[in-house]
Amino acid sequence: MGRALLAGCRKHRNLDVAEIATGKLFVLEPENSGNYVLLSNMYAEAGMWEEVNNLRALSKCQGKKKNPGSSWIEINGKSHLFLGGDKSLPQSKEIRLLLEALPEKIKATGYIPDTSFALHGVGEEEKECNVKIHTEKLAIALGFLTQAQIQFLG
């Protein structure tokens, strides 16, 4: 419930409520590094880099480590797990080609990637690259590719 409130705060950019919620979550779920990450991302979106750095220092001091992002997709009864930074993906060449082509196609329709919370001190192009290879997108790309193969073969 608390993480849902925090996610809602992020969506509606309500930093005041987010700080209260994370204060409670830090007590209720002291080992959950995701709460620190969500608040840090909100600070970054607001351009509050000193707060980002302070929160990261606190998290590091307390021994918190960000767990790598993960997503999974089930295709034909088989689960495929994607971890952040994993380069050993099934059909990795096809997935990478699809993910490289997709941003330009969707930008042409008016899509603008949200890089406001991505890596302070990194160029806009590198931020976009990091955003486009999130594990969710890797899983969805595999789903698209598999569905396209099924339709082609069917």
> Residues 86, 149: one domain?
yes
pTM for the full model? 0.54
Distance CA 9, CA 7 (A): 5
Domain count, the chain: 2
Q: What is the pLDDT of residues 7-34, one digit of tens each?
A: 889 889 999 999 999 999 989 988 888 8
Indicate the residue among 43, 61, 79 that finishes a domain. Answer: 61
- What would the pLDDT profile of 96-113 be if each residue is shown by its tens digit? 788 888 778 778 888 877
Residue with the two structure tokens 């899983």: 139
CA 82 distance to own-chain centroid: 12
Q: Which domain holds residue 23?
A: 2-61
Q: Which of 25, 42, 61 is the last residue of a domain?
A: 61
Is residue 20 located within the same domain as residue 42?
A: yes
Most confident segment among 11-15, 81-85, 138-142: 11-15
Query: What tokens were used for 115?
Result: 């890089």
| Residue 15 CB partners (closer than 8 Å, separation 6+) | 9, 42, 43, 46
Most confident stretch, 44-48, 73-77, 112-116, 133-137 = 44-48
Q: Do 53 and 75 have their domain in common?
A: no
